[in-house]
Chain A
Amino acid sequence: MIDVLNAILATIIACVVVVKIFFWREGNPKVVVCKDKRTPFQLDKLTEDSMSVSTKVEFRNAGMQCATIMDCIVRALLPYEQYDGVKVEAKAEREGAPREDDYFESVLIQKQTSIFIYARVTLTARKGQDIKTALAHMVDLPMDIIYTELGRRPWIMRKVRIELPAAEMAKLAGVELADD
């Protein structure tokens, strides 16, 4: 009787070990947002009262399984308590799949490959100013790239912080930053 129980126990343990080894060998998706390798912000459009800039960010799946980015948005964080001279709008746009509706179509990232997502930012002057005057007094602009990731585990929402420095904006607009 004890031999039978031992055999059953050994079989269960062997199954658990085999499954664990199988999962370990198969691996997981692992999406890494290479925020430190993002391209410098580039000027897309400059008008009397607005400026649009963008940066390209790599989303790399460094894991061993396919990953899905279900949604992605860019959230600019400029409270008017800090600076109310511009209104900021931002969006995420997948490289090679531009859209005018700001919709982010869910996308697969195969294992060991990358996709690139543009963070596009439009700054519009407020209070009757022109954009150059407004940007001369601008502050550093933090932005969260917020994305929903799916894979072998339940969905998860992640945030990555990037920053658009005031000096970079002023330079792109061709103005000198005021010493406020």
Chain B
Amino acid sequence: MAEVEIVSVPTRILTDKDDIVDIIEKYTKGRITENDVVSVAESVVAITQGRIVRPEDLEISTLAQFCCRFIPDQGSLASPHGMQALMNVEGQWRVAFALFVGFLGKIIGQNGLFYKLGGEQTALIDDVTGTMPPFDKHIVYGPKNPQGVVKCLKERLGCFGAVIADVNDLKRSRIVGATEGINGEKVAQLLIDNPFGNASQKTPIVIIKNFKQYQQV
């Protein structure tokens, strides 16, 4: 049986002028078979969708300044800008309520309520420094309609499947969107060592060769 193999695909810096499906097709031409899964970094999908905002362009509310204080200082929502960016898309009272319930949940030992109740962007937003230049000075949202993007990728490329992944160097690997029939947990495990590389390596596309056979085992 052919072994599963991780192939990182370097690209130029992608911007909101690019179409992510066209770009992936261009850079992976002739390298993908019907056994492979194409994975793409979630922040890059979001950037190509124009889902970025500069801190200078945000009007920071008192509520955002208050709420961000309850997030540990390493988190993307720990700054008033990250928190305001979230409130702008999910609603400020929803976020504040989720934070309050999350706090109560922690008291009784139930973690993660804030991320469950605060809306899907709660876990997806990257604050300043979270993305490579020139987007290091931006807040980057999670991608819009990830299921639609991966479906479109699969149809265009004729691959076994496509995923959008949120992976970092701290061994966090999460699938944000996957085509039907793909075992997201298995893909996440294969991507745990972050083959997308660090910021300067410019490899937002990763091909998982022979994933079809790997998944069937």
Contacts and interface: CB of A to CB of B under 8 A. Distances in A.
Given A106-B129, A155-B56, A71 B137 contact: yes
Contacts of B55: 70, 150, 154-155
Contacts of B133: 103, 105
B73 A150 contact: no
B128 A68 contact: yes
A107 B56 CA distance: 17
Q: How large is the interface on A (under 10, 10 to 19, 20 to 34, 35 or more residues)?
A: 20 to 34
Interface string B61-78: 000010011000110001
A150 B65 contact: no
Contacts of A153: 65, 80
> 5 tightest CB-CB pairs across the interface, nearest first?
A66-B73, A106-B136, A65-B73, A154-B60, A106-B129
B80 A106 contact: no
Interface in A3-25: 22-23
A108 interface: yes
A105 to B, nearest CB: 5
B173 interface: no
Contacts, number: 49
B206 to A, nearest CB: 24
B79 interface: yes
B81 interface: yes
A155 B60 CA distance: 10
A26 interface: yes
A141 to B, nearest CB: 28
B78 A152 contact: yes
Contacts of A22: 69
B129 A154 contact: no
Main secondary structure on A side of the interface with B: loop
A23 B127 CA distance: 21
Interface string B120-161: 000000011100011011000000000000000000000000
A20 to B, nearest CB: 11
A155 B73 contact: no
A154 B78 contact: no
Interface in A28-87: 65-66, 68, 70-71
A150 B79 contact: yes
B128 A154 contact: no
Contacts of A66: 73-74, 78
Contacts of A108: 129
Contact of A70 (B68, B69, B134, B137): B137
Given A150-B55, A155-B55, A155-B81, A106 B128 contact: yes
